[in-house]
Structure 1
Amino acid sequence: MKCPEFWSQTGWLTVCLGFLRLLLDAALAVGQPVMAPDSLLPFAPRTYVCYRSDHPLRIDGRLDEPAWQAAPWSEPFVDIEGPHRPPPPYHTRIKLLWDDTYLYIGAELEEPHLWATLTRRDTIIFYDNDFEVFIDPDSDTHTYYELEINALGTVWDLLLLKPYRDGGPALNAWDIRDLKAAVALDGTLNDPSDIDRGWTVELALPWTVLAEAAPEGRPPRPGEQWRMNFSRVQWPLEVIEGRYRKRRDPATGRLLPESNWVWSPQGVINMHLPERWGYVQFSAIVAGEGTEPFQPAPEEPLRWQLRQLYYRQRLFREQHGRYARTFDELNVPANWRRRYHLTLQTTESLYEITARLPDGTRLHIREDGRIWKTFPDNP
């Protein structure tokens, strides 16, 4: 497993190596890699430092204001399944800014065939080519936001109380109040007679809404990190009688599957694994006036290891009809249990696993996947 590059670059090589040792300990105990049962990717989410804008931005879909010009671009998007899949043929990237009122998101999508059909808000927008945003403010994998937009500027926004794997549900009636959204097209929409260049997306998401699921119910402070990811859905098209149509398999008549290109790869075709999203760190520095390094939280390796135990519990219940009652049943090494003071409480249908960091902070995970932190003076 490759050590995440950003850890070594920011002085966290020791943390990374310690994490790898934990994974190796557990892997040796069962004779196989400790990974999510549905993913072969190592834990290496992408990171981004979000700088401030010193003035409110005009939301017109064009990323031409000085603040946008100063903000760094992300890495190009990759296939959702990771680097073992071919790179996307069309370039996609994002950049972020923030101020006291909004989180600003800009995206640039290369596209030779601009196409969109859906015009009603809260339609399932990924039936068109689209751009998507996912935000989990407190990194607990519950109560997170999703927003999708197509080249017509039609929006679908929803609130997920839990990932679908843990029972959902998705609240389609929920809206981002006072959302500002715009697109700008570099080409002609729904016109197959020419070759287009692409489109840009500009979003302003108010903190008054995003803070609802944030720690302490407030906007982020400088230095804090939120989990986010960004996705692009791309359908294979053909031209029939002068109009774009989704391509079908000539043998079956079924629609060919869409491509999914993302900022931080998921390992499987599923955006609803929030533990695999990237990290966005908020900076007090105005864009263009300096830089700061990304600083990974030292608890993240342990948080990921607890996620492995959650995956193991899911598999155990599928095999035995109940959750494991002991760490021996989960093949967790004794030295790892002692190192992090692991405890496990179970009933027939529930469980909670707790680990303790050296400073007394505790991390907890339970059967529905929620992970959270408590402090020494809390129960």
Structure 2
Amino acid sequence: MVGLVPLQLMVLLVTVLPRLTWPHDVKERQVQQPPLQPSDYPEDTSWPSQSQCAFAHLHPRRYAAYHLPPSVDHLVTSITIDGILDEKVWADVPWSEPFQDIQGPQFWSQPWFATKFKLRYDQQFLYVGAYLEETEVWANVSKRNEIIFHDNDFEVFVDPDGSTHNYKEFELNARNATWNLWLNRPYRDGGHENSTRVDPQYGFDMLNGAERLHYWTAEIALPLSELARHSKAQVPPAANSFWRINFSRVEWPVRVVYHKQSGKQHYEKKPGLKEENWVWSTQNAVDMHRPEWWGYLQFRPRDETPPPLMDDQRTMEDSVPFDPEWGVRYVSFQYYYAQHAYHKLSGSYTSSLEQLLPHFTSREALECMELFDTSVTNNSFSAQIGLREKAVDFDGIAQYVASIEDDGHIEVEKAGFASPIAVIE
């Protein structure tokens, strides 16, 4: 077992020191075919354009984290982890976009409470400040080894190097109970977690239905070095570099129940109703463990200050560029899902792109991708995938090649001059 990983966090005026441990066991792999993606161009278009092959309209959301100012005045330039987002450094940066349903903005049910966050960082920590609108603030989980999302909760997911492996997850409820885990790879690819939880204190009668509150806030400090452990991410992060990140909120419908003997009111879940899952960047499925869909966190240079907040309420996303690797990442995972769909039917993977055609859910991905190299056995595959010559990145400067494996591990590098071994005409 590797060394324990400390995290520091705070919500509702309580400081907690949870720990993460390395997963040893694995579960049976079950990769579900992704839903059909929206069409990228009209049906009568014979060749996808450069911008279409960039898949910009499917690009996940983006947020820029600005470095804390130099410590000239500690009270002005620091963050005290006390659960109260009252520091000036929080006021200097905008909120994220409101959360949406995990299946996307087109899903029929959308959040009825606002959820949003802010991010800052220094040389040691990534700071998260979250606001969760809620008229019925409640939580039952407080003991070790209880599952946090049985309550309403707030969750943070971080994949520092974008490989979809060795990512970290942090969950907490309004009672400040936490769950921290470290996955070597997603559950669908055989990943498994072995986590620890903590027993916190809390500051008010969480279960009293007579207490009418309107929101709760969380303030978290996540150690950058531990988030990046067993990844290729640089710490401190390089200026303008990207990490993958997403946030989730689990919301259970509850009702107020009156207890005759005590004369008190308490909350209980409404029988037969499932939880809602609200996220920052859509997952296109009810599954947070699809890191390829997580949003983008960009670390701004240390000496860059946040721009003045605008009256027009422009989001942070307006100032964050697209990831030039996004297009090749998208088509690579379409190939990954097609391989797993083929394996489910035939019992093996295939080196033939033609045999995978019926299993692609995105025709646009097929027409934009080039397959440079494959290594395939009955039970494993690896592939090098790029975008077609015309499908350049957002700046029109360079192409990228992705190396993706059957367990979903992906790395992206600048392209060389190798010739593709398969394309779809």
2:82 equivalent in structure 1: 60
Among residues 291, 306, 309, which one is paired with 2:332 in the alignment? 306
Provide the rounded CA distance (Å) in 2 between the counterparts of 1:340 and 1:261: 35
- Answering whether residue 173 of structure 2 is matched by residue 150 of structure 1, we say yes
Q: What value does the CA root-mean-square deviation take over the aligned residues?
A: 3.1
Aligned residues: 335
Superposed CA offset, 1:200-238 (max 9, x none): 000001122112144255231110011111011111111
- Answering whether residue 110 of structure 2 is matched by residue 87 of structure 1, we say yes
Among residues 51, 55, 68, which one is paired with 1:16 in the alignment? 51
Counterpart amino acid of residue 351 in structure 1? F
Counterpart amino acid of residue 294 in structure 1? V
CA drift at 1:2? 7.2
CA drift at 1:136? 0.5
CA contact (8 A) 1:80 1:267 kept: yes
CA drift at 1:287? 3.4
CA contact (8 A) 2:158 2:243 kept: yes
Among residues 313, 326, 349, which one is paired with 2:379 in the alignment? 349
- Answering whether residue 58 of structure 2 is matched by residue 46 of structure 1, we say no
Change (3 A) 1:56 1:183: farther
2:320 equivalent in structure 1: 294
2:352 equivalent in structure 1: 326
CA contact (8 A) 2:95 2:117 kept: yes
1:9 equivalent in structure 2: none
Counterpart amino acid of residue 352 in structure 2? T
Provide the rounded CA distance (Å) in 1 between the counterparts of 2:379 and 2:142: 44
User: What is the SS of the residue equivalent to 1:342?
Assistant: strand
Provide the rounded CA distance (Å) in 1 between the counterparts of 2:368 and 2:175: 56
- Answering whether residue 239 of structure 2 is matched by residue 222 of structure 1, we say yes
Change (3 A) 1:183 1:301: farther
- Answering whether residue 119 of structure 2 is matched by residue 96 of structure 1, we say yes
User: What is the SS of the residue equivalent to 1:93?
Assistant: strand
Structure 1: gaps of 5 or more residues: 4-13, 22-41, 176-181, 250-255
1:208 equivalent in structure 2: 225
CA drift at 1:362? 3.1
Provide the rounded CA distance (Å) in 2 between the counterparts of 1:259 and 1:276: 19
CA drift at 1:73? 0.4
Provide the rounded CA distance (Å) in 1 between the counterparts of 2:290 and 2:412: 19
Provide the rounded CA distance (Å) in 2 between the counterparts of 1:265 and 1:184: 32
Q: How does 1:1-379 map to 2 (within 5 A)?
A: 1=38, 15-19=50-54, 43-54=58-69, 55-83=77-105, 84-173=107-196, 189-216=206-233, 218-240=235-257, 241=259, 242-249=265-272, 256-284=273-301, 285-288=304-307, 293-331=319-357, 340=370, 342-356=372-386, 361-374=400-413
Change (3 A) 1:294 1:184: farther
Structure 2: gaps of 5 or more residues: 1-37, 41-48, 70-76, 260-264, 310-315, 390-397, 417-425
CA contact (8 A) 2:228 2:235 kept: yes
CA drift at 1:188? 5.7
Provide the rounded CA distance (Å) in 1 between the counterparts of 2:65 and 2:201: 21
Superposed CA offset, 1:96-139 (max 9, x none): 01111110001000011110122235531111111000000111
CA contact (8 A) 1:137 1:213 kept: no
CA contact (8 A) 2:182 2:195 kept: yes
CA drift at 1:329? 1.1
CA drift at 1:289? 6.5
CA drift at 1:169? 1.2
Provide the rounded CA distance (Å) in 1 between the counterparts of 2:92 and 2:50: 32
Give the TM-score of the pair, scaled to structure 1: 0.80
Give the TM-score of the pair, scaled to structure 2: 0.72
User: What is the SS of the residue equivalent to 1:317?
Assistant: helix
Provide the rounded CA distance (Å) in 2 between the counterparts of 1:62 and 1:352: 47
Change (3 A) 1:132 1:15: farther
Superposed CA offset, 1:80-101 (max 9, x none): 1111232211111111011111
Change (3 A) 1:137 1:121: farther
Counterpart amino acid of residue 342 in structure 2? F
CA contact (8 A) 1:151 1:183 kept: no
User: What is the SS of the residue equivalent to 1:325?
Assistant: coil
